[in-house]
Copies of this chain bind each other. A is one copy, B any other.
């Protein structure tokens, strides 16, 4: 392995000077700098990042952490489930943004131990953390907030000394989805909603209610069907719904996510109901797959790129602004959403027309 020592020798300077040149210190003569460059090139030198991390007490590494359920779940064991394809699509941008800032992404093999969890991250000298906390009650989160490692949460309302969060305007998204249906003449609108005890689910439920209210429509809580986030549960829930209700008792469904909508579509199809002829369906997220469902899915697009960009930028700036802790907590970032109309929604057809 070629070290800075060898570069120094070849360039006829000390290791200190090599280090300065490498780190862009102004206190290096043009001459020395040039010789060092040459030596580096001819030796193919690359600094040892591990040694750098040790002495700087900080690595150029950002950890991606996930809190999901209280099982020993890893990042992908959760994202890999279909209901989280949305987050998966985000990871692309996460990685890209982080790489662009010249940080590595680390997926720690975190043991579930609550105490050692934070400590082990500290011992890895991670510069910061991008965290997705699907289960906000996870004890590790509190520890993380206290530890004051720069952290940006995605989709979970956690703030601390050195942490903040970014999330879509879920309320507004759900409101627009519902409003869209109302404008098409729908009045009896079912919502299949998940995680109403969490920030995402509850915001979406509120948006649904708000839209009805704004339109002066009655809110029938019986039309609110709790369901899991995943395709299978949404499918089962829809089956139950179809068993419980007469065909004309509702004319539209707002699904909590696209993957849930896929389950909804399948159940409707099995019952011989046409979409949007008999029932209109709206998803949420705008996952890639929406274009290929039958029919293509009208949905609420979350601006993943904007979310991630905001998250990473904020994180980097927290990291690089050094120890300056924001005791008050940093303001969260709410990114805008957008209604994407495809073919799963249409005007309501009145019973007599049917």
Contact = CB atoms under 8 A, between A and B. Distances in A.
A306 to B, nearest CB: 16
A86 to B, nearest CB: 11
Given A77-B92, A95-B107, A106-B105, A115 B288 contact: no
Q: Which 7 A-B pairs have the closest CB atoms?
A: A80-B92, A99-B109, A76-B92, A105-B107, A46-B119, A76-B91, A74-B95
A292 B263 contact: yes
Interface of A: 1, 44, 46-51, 53-54, 59, 61, 74-77, 79-82, 85, 88-89, 91-96, 98-110, 115-116, 119-120, 122-125, 231, 235, 262-263, 265-266, 269, 288-289, 292, 294
Contacts of A115: 44
6 contacts: A50-B59, A98-B109, A101-B109, A104-B106, A263-B292, A265-B294
Contact of A74 (B44, B82, B99, B108): B99
Contacts of A104: 106-109, 124
| Of listed A50, A106, A116, A288, residue having the most chain B CB within 10 A | A50
A1 B108 CA distance: 20
Contacts of A100: 109
